[in-house]
Structure formats: structure tokens, C-alpha cells
Amino acid sequence: MQIVVVDSSQVVLRIIASLLEARGHTVHEFTESDAALEFMTHAPEVSVLITSLEVRPMNGLELCWAVRSRAEDRRPMHIITMSSANSVHNLAEALDSGADDFIEKPPRAEELHARLRAAERMARLQEELIRLADTDGLTGLLNRRAFRERMDAAVARGFTLRPPALIFVDIDHFKRINDLYGHDVGDLAICAVARLLDENGIVGRLGGEEFGIFLPERDLDSAIFHAEGLRVRVRALRVPCGDATVGLTCSFGVSTWSGEDSVAALLKRADVALYAAKAAGRNRVMV
């Protein structure tokens, strides 16, 4: 694991770091809490923070609060606080400040390793829960909520060269596929389309047979070209159905970011464009 250790003493830091490194962990040592916080903001691979309560300029409790209050950040961070004055008061205050665990300083090697093994179990469980919460069970794509979150995050980061584009995709006359060939074949059709779409950009399943593709850095012509390529490839798909195969088509609605836009407006325009593609006869791309 990647572990950040914060203690005002270089000697203590070295002792803890060598214990951890001996077990294969990568350790980042800091004597000051603000430098540790700054480092963690840009180091998503860090999953454990071990901090002494007696550090500066923020004390260990304030550092816990600061790490826990990073709103945009859902990655699990296991926080172990350390204090030489191992009082019940310190322990309760540390846990109330967002710490997961508390150890006496200097930590005994076996105790430290056992607590890190517990941290590793928690981190794995938490990662799995986040994955499940973000994933559509049938296709493995992002679900509607996670798709929206990724769009919001990408927009919040800002654009460098070009603004983003959005493509809505909806399988045409899907009810007929279900009615004629059964839901199992319907599910296969949804999965086949999902696999084809899941090649670039941020792709989500927004509803039954509806998908969204968020393409960062795409101008309108390029987004339309992309959607057109997908339309042709969907039309060529064959979904197995007993001894035969079933074909299908999709309609596409494209929108691009303009000026002082919002994610909600981008979604709305893609939806309107998709509706227009349906009304115009389906199996087509509309803006």
C-alpha cells in the first residue's frame, strides 16, 4: 500500500517507515501536516494516513478533518492516529475527528502490521462497494448516477483544447425485440450495444435500452462523425437467437457544450436531439 506518515520527529518517521517498508509498503514521510495534505491531494494512490496528533501547523485532529472534508473525493482513506500520551480522551477525540484507528507511539511492529492488515481488508471492501454502487449490473457500464457524476467531475476540471460533447443512444423499437424474441434476447441486444459503445469516452447505461457517451474535447463535427460510425456498427451487429440471429438499429442525439453551458442543459439538448431522430424515422444521428 501507499502510506503517508506524519510526525514532527525525523527519527520517529524513519523508525515507522522502515517497519512499513520491510513489509513492502511505499512510505511518504512528512514532518509537517500541511505538506502531507497537499501531497495527498495529488496522490490518489495513497490509501493510508498515519499521523501523530502532535504535528504542525495543523494538529493531527485537524489533519483528519481536512482529509475527511475533501468533498469531491470518494476514494477510501484509512487514517491511523498516534499519540505518546495514550489517554482515552485522545483516542475518543481522534475517532470523532474522522480517524479509523489509534495507536500508541512509538508503535510496536506486530501491532502496526496487524492494524494495517485490518485497514487493507476495509479498503478492499470499500472499493468493491464503490464499484458495485457505480456499475450497471447487466452491462458493466456506469449506471445513470455514476455517469452523471463523471460528467460533473469532468466539467468541473475544465476544458483545455475543446469543450465536451454528449451522445444519447437508444435502441430502436426495442419493445418489438423483447416481444418477438423474448427478454433474454433483449438483454443480449443491450449487452451487445453496450460493448460496442464502451470503447471511448465515459459511457453509461441511463435506462433500459438507453445509453450516454460523454466525449471530452470534441467539437460538433467530430462528435457527429463518431456517432455516425457507431450507428453503422450497431446496424451490422447480429444478436444470437436460437439458431438464427437478430439485427437492430439505434437512434442518436448529439449535443455539444456552448459558452456558459451546464451539464443539465447538455443532457436536455441531447435528449431533444434523440427524440428528433426517433420522430424523423430512427436509425439516424441528429443534433
Residue numbers annotated as active site = 209
Please pick, from the candidates 56, 74, 175, 268, the single residue that binds ligand GH3 as defined by CB under 6 A. Answer: 175
Tell me the C-alpha to C-alpha distance, in Å, between residue 90 and each of 6, 80, 113, 203, 206. 17, 12, 22, 46, 47
Q: What is the number of residues in the chain? A: 287
Buried b (16+ CB within 10 A) or exposed e, 129-162: eeeeebbbeebebbbeebbbbbbeebbeeeeeee
Helices and strands, counts by H and E, the chain: 10, 12
Tell me the C-alpha to C-alpha distance, in Å, between residue 2 and each of 20, 47, 125, 130. 10, 6, 17, 20
Under rule CB under 6 A, residue 278 binds ligand GH3: yes
278 binds, among ligand GH3, Mg ion, none (CB under 5 to 8 A by kind): ligand GH3
Please pick, from the candidates 170, 202, 223, 248, the single residue that binds ligand GH3 as defined by CB under 6 A. Answer: 170
Please pick, from the candidates 60, 164, 186, 212, the single residue that binds ligand GH3 as defined by CB under 6 A. Answer: 186
Under rule CB under 6 A, residue 144 binds ligand GH3: no
Under rule CB under 5 A, residue 170 binds Mg ion: yes
Q: Can you tell me the distance from the alpha carbon of 28 to that of 11, in angstroms, rounded to the nearest whole number? A: 14
Draw the binding track, 99-138, toward ligand GH3 (x: CB under 6 A; -: no contact): ---------------------------------------x
Output 152 or 187, the one with its CB closest to ligand GH3.
187
What are the cell numbers at 173? 423499437
Answer whether 205's CB lies under 8 Å from 136's CB: yes
3-state per-residue secondary structure call for 210-256: EEEEEECCCCHHHHHHHHHHHHHHHHCCCEEECCEEECCCEEEEEEE
Please pick, from the candidates 172, 194, 203, 255, the single residue that binds ligand GH3 as defined by CB under 6 A. Answer: 172
Draw the binding track, 234-263, toward ligand GH3 (x: CB under 6 A; -: no contact): ------------------------------
Under rule CB under 5 A, residue 174 binds Mg ion: yes
Q: Which residue has the cell 427524440?
A: 275
Under rule CB under 6 A, residue 208 binds ligand GH3: yes
Question: Bridge-partner residues for 214, per DSSP?
Answer: 166, 202
Output 54 or 187, the one with its CB closest to ligand GH3.
187
Draw the binding track, 203-242, toward Mg ion (x: CB under 5 A; -: no contact): ------xx--------------------------------
Q: Can you tell me the distance from the alpha carbon of 81 to that of 100, in angstroms, rounded to the nearest whole number? A: 8
Per CB under 5 A, residues contacting Mg ion are: 170-171, 174, 209-210
Q: Interface with ligand GH3 by CB under 6 A: which residues?
A: 138, 170-175, 178, 183, 186-187, 190, 208-209, 278, 282
